[in-house]
Amino acid sequence: MELHILGCYAATPRTISNPSGQVLEMKNHLFLIDCGEGTQVQLRKNKIRFSRIRHVFISHLHGDHFFGLPGLVSTFRLLGRDLELHIYGPKGIKEAITLLLKLGDSWTNYPLVFHELESKEPELIFEDDQLTVETIPLNHRIYTNGFLFREKLGERKLNIKTATEYGIDKCYYQKIKSGHDIVMGDGTVIPNQKLTFDPPKPKSYAYCSDTAFLPSIVQQIKNVDVLYHESTFLESEAHLVKKTKHSTAKEAATVAKDADVGTLVLGHYSTRYKSIQPFKDEALEIFPNVELADDGKVFRFWQN
């Protein structure tokens, strides 16, 4: 379970920083979240295998969050990709990407599947047998979603020692892990809780960028393990948040506190600041567990 920060700065790319892009590794998936300019270069620098990326989530259609996507789609073609690529993003993303492919006569030789989003309410956009992904409607200058990744509750863990002591045949082990009691030959019922341990607590990750301070998301992200929340400005520039519809570090920390999250990761910093440390200092006044995203940083929050 890892979070790779490819870029976490606002606006334009610089030689020392990159716009938004990150990879969440969760239950054998590599989810790409936003894809600003330079994302594929950052993927190479971080030694992330392109072929493992099958789902891309784009928060909104501002350039610093998706201008890297056409290049990545084209590179996948050059690499001979044949696996499907699913792209989740606001309505219009299909038109934007396919127009470039059409003009360049560069249609992909792999299935490119678009899932265009319009709802202003949270909706389930991906699910398999291990996890779900929901949208988190945000408040920005254009239609924008965050994304909430949640593991499903796993199987119970078999207590092999106890199962052996009861003389239970191995053919029943999968049934036990699925939560069933066992009836012995003499009719004795062995409760499942005697034969198993609780499964690990399902893990969760919320990505919220870009957005103005939005208390209404608190209920949806309540108790998530990790919240990535934009913090474009410090309180000293709070006068800018209204017209830009961004947040300060203090506002991000307030959301984290009210939602009782495990860890707050700050990012999407304005490049006007010489250091990002003041963002952490400001957030710590509100919320105790704060981390700073930075290009190339890898977070391993969920090692068992």
Binding residues for Zn(2+): 60, 62, 64-65, 140, 210, 268
Two tokens, residue 182: 């066992």
Answer whether 301's CB lies under 8 Å from 226's CB. yes
Placement of tokens 């499907």 in the chain: 84
Q: How far apart are the C-alpha atoms of 44 and 27, rounded to whole Å? A: 22
Per DSSP, the three-state class of 189 is strand
Catalytic, out of 34, 64, 225, 295:
64
Kindly tell me the burial class for residue 129, based on how many C-beta atoms sit within 10 Å of its own C-beta (0-12, 13-18, 19 or more). Answer: exposed
CA atoms within 13 A on the CB side of 299: 24
In the annotated binding site, the residues are 60, 62, 64-65, 140, 210, 268
Residue 295 a catalytic site member: no
Helix (H) or strand (E) holding 45: helix 39-45
Kindly give the interhelix angle for 249-259 and 277-284, rounded to the nearest 10 degrees.
Answer: 40
Catalytic residues: 64
